[in-house]
Amino acid sequence: MDFDAIVIGSGMSGGIAAKELTERGLKTLVLERGGNIDRSNQADQTDWMQPWDLPNAGNIPEVELAEDYPVQSQCYALSSATKHLFVKDSEHPYQTPENKPFSWIRGYHLGGRSIMWGRQSYRLSAMDFEANARDGHGSDWPIRYDDIAPWYDHIENFIGVSGSREGLPQLPDGDFLPPFELNDAELQFKRAVESNFPGRKVIPGRVANLREAREHHRELGRGPCQVRSLCERGCTFGAYHSSLNSSLPAAQRTGNLTVITDAIVHSIEYDAASGKATGVRVIDANTKEGSTHTAKVIFCNASTIGTAQILLNSTSEAMPRGLANSSDMVGRNIMDHLYGLLTVATFDNMPDTFYFGRRPTGFYIPRYRNLGGADGDYLRGYGFQGGFSRNGGAGAAMAGPGIGEDLKARGRQLGTWQMFLAGFGEILPHPDNRVSLSTSETDQWGIPVAHIDVALRENELKLAAAIQEDGRAMAEAAGGTVVTSLGTPSPPGLGIHEMGTARMGADPATSVLNKWNQAHDVPNLFITDGAAMASSGCVNPSLTYMALSARAADATASMLAEGAL
CATH of the domain at 86: 3.50.50.60
Which stretch of 352-361, 383-392, 410-419, 512-521 has the lowest confidence by average pLDDT?
410-419
> For residue 283, what are the β-bridge partners?
264, 290
- Has residue 443 been placed in a domain? no
Average pLDDT over residues 222-233: 95
**Residue 440 near residue 371, CB atoms below 8 Å:** no
Q: How confident is the model at residue 392 (pLDDT cuts 50, 70, 90)?
A: confident
Q: DSSP string covering 98-146, please?
A: TT---------BTTGGGTT---B-----HHHHHHHHHH--SPPPSS-HH
Q: Give alpha helix (H) positions in 304-375.
A: 304-313
pLDDT of residue 309: 98
pLDDT of residue 26: 98
Tell me: the pLDDT tens digits for 106-126? 999 999 999 999 999 999 999
Average pLDDT over residues 196-221: 98
Tell me: do 484 and 562 sit in the same domain: no
Q: How does strand 290-300 pair with strand 337-347?
A: unpaired
- Has residue 109 been placed in a domain? yes
Q: How confident is the model at residue 395 (pLDDT cuts 50, 70, 90)?
A: low
d(CA 47, CA 211): 19
**Domain interval for residue 235:** 1-163+206-335+498-565
Residues in the chain: 565
Q: DSSP string covering 492-541, please?
A: TTTTS--B-TT-B-S-TTT-SB-TTSBBSS-TTEEE-SGGG-S---SS--
Return the percentage of the chain with pLDDT > 70, whole number. 98
Tell me: do 120 and 199 sit in the same domain: no
Q: What is the DSSP letter of 358?
A: -
d(CA 234, CA 116): 7
d(CA 13, CA 545): 6
**Residue 225 near residue 240, CB atoms below 8 Å:** yes
pLDDT of residue 420: 97
pLDDT of residue 374: 76
Give ∠ CA 539-161-492 in degrees, rounded to 5: 25
Tell me: do 379 and 520 sit in the same domain: no
Tell me: the pLDDT tens digits for 124-164? 999 999 999 999 999 999 999 999 999 999 999 999 999 99
- Has residue 439 been placed in a domain? no
Among residues 300, 340, 324, the alpha carbon closest in space to that of 493 is found at 340
Number of domains observed in the structure of the chain: 2
Tell me: the pLDDT tens digits for 158-167? 999 999 999 9
- Has residue 70 been placed in a domain? yes
Average pLDDT over residues 321-337: 98
Q: DSSP string covering 448-499, please?
A: EEEEEE----HHHHHHHHHHHHHHHHHHHHTTEEEEEE--SPPPTTTTS--B
Mean pLDDT of the chain: 96
pLDDT of residue 103: 98
- Has residue 451 been placed in a domain? no
- Is 457's pLDDT higher than 80? yes
d(CA 388, CA 344): 10
Tell me: do 226 and 214 sit in the same domain: yes
Q: How confident is the model at residue 85 (pLDDT cuts 50, 70, 90)?
A: very high
- Has residue 432 been placed in a domain? no
**Residue 382 near residue 426, CB atoms below 8 Å:** yes
Angle, in degrees to the nearest 10, between helices 145-159 and 126-135: 140
pLDDT of residue 397: 65
Largest CA distance in the chain: 82
Tell me: do 76 and 102 sit in the same domain: yes
Among residues 494, 524, 527, the alpha carbon closest in space to that of 13 is found at 527
Rounded to whole angstroms, what are the CA distances from 89 to 287, 507, 548? 21, 38, 30
Tell me: the pLDDT tens digits for 247-289? 999 999 999 999 999 999 999 999 999 999 999 999 999 999 9
Tell me: do 341 and 286 sit in the same domain: no
pLDDT of residue 413: 80
- Is 1's pLDDT higher than 80? no
Tell me: do 251 and 389 sit in the same domain: no
Tell me: do 364 and 306 sit in the same domain: no
Tell me: do 341 and 235 sit in the same domain: no
Which stretch of 86-90, 393-397, 499-503 has the lowest confidence by average pLDDT?
393-397
Q: How confident is the model at residue 405 (pLDDT cuts 50, 70, 90)?
A: confident
Average pLDDT over residues 26-47: 88
Tell me: do 104 and 154 sit in the same domain: yes
- Is 239's pLDDT higher than 80? yes
d(CA 556, CA 562): 10
- Has residue 447 been placed in a domain? no
Tell me: do 420 and 555 sit in the same domain: no
Query: Domain end: 448, 469, 491, which one?
Result: 491
Query: Domain end: 474, 491, 508, which one?
Result: 491
pLDDT of residue 398: 65
pLDDT of residue 336: 98
- Is 391's pLDDT higher than 90? no
Which stretch of 45-54, 359-368, 553-562 has the lowest confidence by average pLDDT?
45-54
- Is 43's pLDDT higher than 70? no
> For residue 291, what are the β-bridge partners?
282
Among residues 309, 248, 480, 509, the alpha carbon closest in space to that of 386 is found at 480
Average pLDDT over residues 358-375: 93
d(CA 492, CA 489): 8
**Residue 266 near residue 447, CB atoms below 8 Å:** yes
Tell me: do 378 and 460 sit in the same domain: yes
- Has residue 63 been placed in a domain? yes
